Amino acid sequence: MLVLGIESSCDETGVALVETQGAALPRLCAHALHSQITMHQAYGGVVPELASRDHIRRVLPLAQSVFDEAGKRLADVDVVAYTRGPGLAGALLVGAGVACALGAALGKPVLGVHHLEGHLLSPFLSADAPEFPFVALLVSGGHTQLMRVDGVGRYEMLGETIDDAAGEAFDKSAKLMGLPYPGGPWLAKLAEQGDPAAFKLPRPLLHSGDLDFSFAGLKTAVMTQARKLGDDLEGRKADLAAATQAAIVEVLLKKSMTALTQTGLKRLVVAGGVGANRDLRTQLDAACARRGVRVHYPELHLCTDNGAMIAMAAAMRLQAGMQQPTEVYAFDVKPRWPLDSLVRAPEDALA
């Protein structure tokens, strides 16, 4: 079975082909990705209308390049998968519209995929793919969650952010320091030159006794510290970046270790854009090694939004019998689609 995946939830256009053979893990045939970062930098953030228009320009040329790389034809596709949500409504509609149009033209079924489930299952694209069950730390721009994962569609929410996510804390703190968009990677790079102990910043909910997260207070503390520094901020920016990163990483690390202790599991999966952070990976690797826990990440180039994770999630759901594609080509999107809808009722998640 050949699955075509299309991702268009925000500011990356991704297209990929994944192939399944029997019960074996689906195989990535080819993928292509276009990032809109350069276009949005002038505005300091994503402009939804510009994002939607750029998806329209990019999706079909990207698809053609994927088919050329994989040596496949459009007629070879068995299922067309697309990101149904969450994300920007206009951007989601582009991917959904293209997918359903292709499905209708080919007479092939389509399948809407939850963007976060794509991230959650993206480590299965890695050469070091995990095995079920595991604890998952999902850390993307807008989401920070810990989950117990017993199989495809078999998820238990252990804890989640009650305000800003870790990715938002990185990006908003970077903006307060005057760093370019997108701020998270710039902050992480600058932090390499700073002293993480230079400033005493809060670790919200670190000792809360539960697995929930909160990073809004940290962002406020960074803003307060930046204002105190005033004209001295430029010379202390690396130290403030390092202290900010250290606070975020410590919370993510300690909560992940607590989740492993509470569940008794010996495998951790980290997914989402923040999962590419070098300091987070280094500290998780060390902590897990001390505990005899295996830790898995997506390949670095698959940490960002991409079509490969959408095609993979669709293929794995189909293999597991969790969902059936449809030949009804009327579509809608879910800009606000909580992942716990899959947790509560996986079989009805797309209803």
What whole-number distance in Å separates Cα of residue 81 and Cα of residue 87? 16
List Cβ neighbours of 67 (8 Å cut-off, separation of 6 or more).
17, 30, 73, 74
Q: Do 309 and 260 reside in the same domain of the chain?
A: no
pLDDT score for 28: 97
Q: Are residues 178 and 133 in the same domain?
A: yes
- Strands (DSSP E) found in the chain: 2-7, 12-19, 27-35, 79-85, 110-114, 134-139, 144-151, 154-160, 267-271, 294-296
Adjacent-strand bridge partners of 138: 145, 271
Please indicate, yes or no, whether residues 199 and 282 belong to a single structural domain of this protein.
Answer: yes
Contact 260, 253 (CB under 8 A): no
User: Positive or negative CA dihedral for 90, 346, 101, 272?
Assistant: positive
0.75 cut: is pTM over it?
yes
252 and 339 in a single domain? The answer is: no
pLDDT at 16: 98
- Assess whether 239 and 181 both reside in one domain: yes
| Structure-block tokens of residue 138 | 């999902």
Are 154 and 284 part of one and the same domain?
Answer: yes
Alpha-carbon distance values, 203 to 6, 183, 206, 208, 209 (Å):
37, 20, 6, 10, 13
- Is residue 337 located within the same domain as residue 269? no
**In whole angstroms, what separates CA 50 from the centre of its chain?**
21
Same domain, 42 and 84: yes
What pLDDT, on the 0 to 100 scale, is given for residue 60? Answer: 97
Query: Assign residue 73 a region: left if phi > 0, alpha if psi is -120 to 50, beta otherwise?
Result: beta
Residue 149 sits in a domain whose CATH number is: 3.30.420.40
Report which residue type is found at 194. Answer: G
Whether residues 64 and 107 share a domain: the answer is yes
Could you list the mean pLDDT of each consecutive 10-residue stretch along the chain, which spans 351 residues? Answer: 98 97 93 96 93 98 98 97 97 98 97 96 94 95 92 94 94 95 95 97 94 95 96 96 98 98 98 95 98 95 95 96 87 88 51 42
Domain that holds residue 215: 128-297
Number of domains in the chain: 2
Whether 109 and 148 share a structural domain? no
Interatomic CA distance for residues 301 and 286, integer angstroms: 22
Q: Are residues 105 and 132 in the same domain?
A: no
Same domain for 105 and 155: no
